[in-house]
Amino acid sequence: MASYVISDIHGEADRFDKMLETVGFSENDTLYILGDVVDRGPAGVELLERIRRTPNMVMLLGNHEYMCLQCFDPAATEKDHRRWARNGNAPTLAGLAALPDGQREDLLCFLKALPTFLEVRVGERDFYLVHGFPGENVHDRVWGRPTLDTPNPIPGRQLIIGHTPVLSLLVEEALEDAYILGMASRGERLTILHAPGYIDIDCGCGHQLPVKALACLRLDDGAEFYV
């Protein structure tokens, strides 16, 4: 009966399956998924369908699902469509188009109903889970990003986030390529970042990045898993 957290799968169903296998995920466990299941990688819609039908997988809204909902809203603007397209929506659009109409509607309803943060207690510890960062409204919670030293705004709860690739917190953008090369040459991969105010578990899954990983944190004991 363990609780696991992952985030930012971005259509990489192979890594997702390998992670479930790695942790030995069973129907007695709970998996919290901090959003951004879709876009970039090929199998986001297929993953959403599986998550939707699995009662012990609990998903939060990410900014990519938020962009998807905006674009399926009749009030969507050209700007909304352009932004989602810039963010790798092609496999998601194709996946949604391949669904029967009713099933697509059900999936969009599922996304609309997703929470944007969750407070959970595991053992003696309280956690606050959110895709981007705690904020006043949905937009801020799915798009927000901390800096490395941003304090925890939720007193008494361990804050766990996705969305901001750990690489971007570790190194300035101009130095990223050299940093990645160095890591790759040492056979290293990105790992979960334990900042003073939060834990960031987005290790770059879905990006074109030789040192990326899908990370998973077990809340019961802090064990970390990577595939």
Q: Which of 7, 30, 63, 116 binds Mn ion (CB under 5 A)?
A: 63
Of 122 and 199, nearer to Mn ion (C-beta) is 199
Of 37 and 122, nearer to Mn ion (C-beta) is 37
Of 62 and 122, nearer to Mn ion (C-beta) is 62
Regarding 65 and contact with Mn ion (CB under 5 A), the answer is no
- Alpha-carbon distance of 152 to 168, in angstroms, equals 19
Of 88 and 95, nearer to Mn ion (C-beta) is 88
Question: Candidates 56-64, 79-87, 112-120, 177-185 — which segment interacts with Mn ion by CB under 5 A?
Answer: 56-64
Regarding 39 and contact with Mn ion (CB under 5 A), the answer is no
Of 122 and 201, nearer to Mn ion (C-beta) is 201
Considering only residues 70 to 129 of the shown chain, the ones binding Mn ion according to CB under 5 A are none
Question: Candidates 60-68, 74-82, 165-173, 183-191 — which segment interacts with Mn ion by CB under 5 A?
Answer: 60-68
Exposure of 169 by Cβ count < 10 A (0-12 exposed, 13-18 middle, 19+ buried)? middle
Question: How far is the CA of 197 from the CAs of 33, 75, 102, 107, 166, in angstroms?
Answer: 20, 37, 43, 34, 14
Regarding 212 and contact with Mn ion (CB under 5 A), the answer is no
Query: From the CB of 156, what's the least distance to Mn ion, in Å?
Result: 26
Regarding 10 and contact with Mn ion (CB under 5 A), the answer is no
Query: From the CB of 120, what's the least distance to Mn ion, in Å?
Result: 20
Regarding 141 and contact with Mn ion (CB under 5 A), the answer is no
Token couple for 25: 């995920």
Residue with structure tokens 């932004």?
83
Q: Is the dihedral of CA 41, 45, 49, 51 positive or negative?
A: positive
Q: Which of 10, 40, 163, 212 binds Mn ion (CB under 5 A)?
A: 163
- Alpha-carbon distance of 5 to 113, in angstroms, equals 20
Which residues, at least 6 apart from 125, have a Cβ–Cβ distance to it below 8 Å? 158, 219
Of 122 and 202, nearer to Mn ion (C-beta) is 202
- Alpha-carbon distance of 224 to 23, in angstroms, equals 10
State the DSSP code for 150: P
Burial 3-38 (b: 16+ CB within 10 A, else e): bbbbbbbbbbbebbeebbeebebeeebbbbbbbbbb
Residues interacting with Mn ion, by CB under 5 A? 36, 62-63, 163
